[in-house]
A and B are shown apart, each in its own frame.
Chain A
Amino acid sequence: MYRNLTIRQKQIVWAWAFLAIPILFYGVIRFYPTGNAILISFQEWNLLGDRTWTGLDNYQKLFADPVFWKVFKNTFVYLLLGTPISLVISFVIAYHLDKTRFMHGFLRMLYFLPFMTSAVAMAWVWRWFYQPVPVGLFNNALASIGIPQFPFLQSTTWALPSVLAPAIWAGLGFQVIIFMAGLRAIPRSYYEAARIDGVSSWTVLWEITLPLLKPTIVFIVVFSSIGFLRIFDHVFNMTTNNPGGPLNSTKPLVLMIYETAFSAFDMGYAAAQTVVLFLVLLVVSLIQLRLLRDS
């Protein structure tokens, strides 16, 4: 039977044969659990007993839960602070690092190191940096010059930025490397032409460098947005005793899902939260892909 196929048909058969493995893999590992999670979000289940159908109860509970809205807001604060700040800092570093010849490789390694460090270890080190006297590095420094203590992790206002700072720092290395690759890809001839015309370096930056970096910027924005929307390990490790505290001021959606599922064992409610996170990620990614298409 196979022998009677045309070459084109044979190619299709082979293509599907190879595609079958990832499709099967994705079906079992990704799509089946995703579908199941959506199903569980309409049920009540404590992992032990039977699942019972509860319709939209979990979603009603979710939208009436003040903690959920607080957490929802936190998640977007992580995104809206984290993405632009990390983008600007990493671009500035990459832009100047690109022009530096002195110890270029060594400096680049220094920026990349935090990205390779375990997030858990880093979060704990920062957690100790932030402690009040007598343990905290920052507060000890403040105390030694007579400045009052700063409540980094013990304030509902400052805890979130304090948690976000090391997360941004950890991701910088990766973004710097991507930006540098983007900068190197811009043809030198544009810059030479600009120099011959006697254009200011500011104009070169705005008219040549940034527009030609757009694909790089869009990639980094999409990548880091998804990362900040899913932030978990930094928050969880810096606030383990009081996860997402104080008073839920640092709690992101993923941490709320984790707690609902694995401390409260309320799987249906956790699944409903997961579905909401999924939709948020989907919408944010679609908007960003739209922007990518424009370029």
Chain B
Amino acid sequence: MAFFNVKALAVATATSAAALFSTAAQAVEIEYWQYFFDARVQAMETLIENFQEANPDITVKMTHFPYADYRTKVAAAIPAGEGPDVVQLFYGWLNDYVAADLIQPLPADVFPASQIDEEFFPMVQAMKEGDAYWALPTAVRSLALFYNERLLEAAGVEPPTTLDEMIAAAKAMTKRDGAGNLTQVGMTAGMTAQDHHWWREGLIRQFGGEPYVDDYQTVNYNNEAGLEALNFYSSLFTGDDAVSAIGFMDEPQAAFKAGRAGLHIDGSFRIGSLNNTRGLKWGVTELPATADGTRSNYSSYWVNAITTKAEGEKYDAAVKFMQYITSDEAMQIWLDVVGELPAKPSVGLTEENSNDPVFGPFIKGLAYAHTTKFANESGQRQLMVEMVERMTLQGMSAEESLAIAAEAEQKILDEYYNSASN
């Protein structure tokens, strides 16, 4: 990472010097908002400087907020007309912004839908309505299986490629004390982290199901495939030969960082913090396939959109800026600085990127990834957490718990799609 930072800094210094001399008198200023994450802010500063160099008559002012406040602040500011011209939103929020008339579609002449369909990874089509796209991402994220190299080596196993190998490897790395308490888990587990995505879009599909139908408006996992996926998942932490425990070391990523977990499923956004963990030797591989080679993954992303506040020359400037931040060049910078995956195969699937030992498994995962359309992500995640808790804490059968979760999730979806404001 240090290397990339130096590079970014060099580019930044050179371009800010250039910007200093080329400041045009009648510059249009547009405002850009995103949440604060050091690398994201740094990457965006580089992009803005490059953009301003190419467009000396436009200045872009970036504002960022802590993540915890971001959604509320954006939601309060934009309707009040105080907000940005170009804003970064989580893909799951977009429906609400479209319904409330707060963002405008990207112009079809500059962003033709047919061209975007062709150039971007297919999951961005969730942002399309008719012939126009509402928003586009610079980068996307997917899941992969992290492994602790030292623990794998000590147990004498290879990084797993199938689910069966994964269980076998996890068993080999699980350690218990004299009383049978886990002191090291073969694999982390917990729906509170990324496992609910793995279960929904990964396991259910791998066991032959489809988690939702009807454009994610109807729950479809209360069936054979859903039950198999749930049984497989709960076998990780139930029974005498469990390879994991819910809440082991408080949080899955904490257990993995502390070197007390052999395997851990997480998103590409975790790479940075694992790199900063001293003494941890880790590697990453694609999410394990089924015996017949079926793979499935989950991907999510933040999109950039033009708000309805941008009009006239600001709108033109915003369109130009959108064009730049969704360009191949911007995506490569974003990958190098932030570690998030390019949203276009033309950038992501280059020889160098897809064979990268760290980014490669995530980028390959994008090819078979699905994006859940959430109505209320934390609410829907909570139902998965409770589905498992009913089994572990109350001894409920998987069938019954699955049925309750499916019914409760359908209720959230119905309320969301039938409510007056959507």
Contacts and interface: CB of A to CB of B under 8 A. Distances in A.
B96 A154 contact: no
A174 B192 CA distance: 36
Interface string B77-113: 0110000000000000000110111100000000000
B192 A48 contact: no
Nearest to A48: B100
A259 B376 CA distance: 11
B177 A247 contact: no
Contacts of B28: none
A263 B245 contact: no
A44 B419 contact: yes
Interface residues of B, number: 42
Contact of A156 (B182, B379, B393, B419): B393
Contact of B246 (A47, A131, A154): A154
Contacts of B11: none
Contacts of B101: 49
A28 to B, nearest CB: 18
A103 B246 CA distance: 46
A241 B393 contact: no
B183 interface: yes
B25 interface: no
Nearest to B193: A241
A242 B250 CA distance: 11
A54 B420 contact: yes
Interface stretch (B154-162, B218-226, B384-392): B384-392
B276 interface: no
Interface in B48-103: 71-72, 75-76, 78-79, 96-97, 99-102
A131 B179 contact: no
B370 interface: no
Contact of A265 (B75, B190, B193, B260): B75
Contacts of B99: 48-49
B421 A52 contact: yes
Contact of A134 (B260, B385, B386, B420): B260
Contact of A44 (B182, B390, B421): B421
Contacts of A26: none
A169 B251 CA distance: 26
Interface stretch (A84-92, A141-149, A220-228): A141-149
Most buried by A among B97, B100, B245: B100
Contacts of B382: 242
Bin chain A's interface residue count: 20 to 34
Nearest to A155: B393
A263 B250 contact: no
B208 interface: no
A245 interface: yes
Contacts of B250: 127-128, 131, 135
Interface in A114-139: 127-128, 131-135
B386 A247 contact: yes
Contacts of B386: 245, 247
A232 interface: no
At the interface, is chain A mostly helix, strand, loop or mixed? loop
A289 B169 CA distance: 65
A100 interface: no
A45 interface: yes
Contact of A48 (B79, B193, B249, B389): B79
Nearest to B375: A264
B77 to A, nearest CB: 11
B96 to A, nearest CB: 5
B378 A263 contact: yes
B179 A46 contact: no
A278 to B, nearest CB: 22
B402 to A, nearest CB: 16
Contact of B102 (A48, A128, A155, A259): A48
Contact of B421 (A50, A146, A153, A241): A50
A46 B192 contact: no
B181 A49 contact: no
A68 B248 CA distance: 30
Contacts of B76: 47
Nearest to A149: B181
B192 A241 contact: yes
Given A143-B181, A154-B393, A264-B376, A48 B248 contact: no
Nearest to A260: B379
A52 to B, nearest CB: 5
A134 to B, nearest CB: 5
Contacts of A264: 376, 378-379
B26 interface: no
Given A246-B389, A263-B378, A49 B421 contact: yes
Nearest to B419: A44
B283 interface: no
Contacts of B260: 134
Contacts of A155: 393
Contacts of B114: none
Given A49-B96, A49-B99, A131-B249, A246 B393 contact: yes
Contacts of A263: 376, 378-379
Nearest to B386: A247
Contacts of A127: 250
A245 B383 CA distance: 11
A262 interface: yes
B67 to A, nearest CB: 13
Interface in B199-257: 245-251
Interface string A256-291: 000100111100000000000000000000000000
A265 to B, nearest CB: 7
Contacts of A52: 420-421
A47 B75 contact: yes
A48 B96 contact: yes
A265 B100 CA distance: 14
The 6 nearest A-B residue pairs measured at CB: A49-B100, A48-B100, A241-B192, A49-B421, A263-B378, A47-B75
20 contacts: A46-B419, A46-B422, A48-B96, A48-B100, A48-B102, A49-B99, A133-B183, A134-B260, A143-B179, A146-B179, A148-B179, A154-B246, A155-B393, A241-B251, A245-B385, A245-B386, A247-B386, A263-B376, A263-B378, A263-B379
Interface of B: 71-72, 75-76, 78-79, 96-97, 99-102, 177, 179, 181-183, 190, 192-193, 245-251, 260, 376, 378-379, 382, 385-386, 389-390, 393-394, 419-422
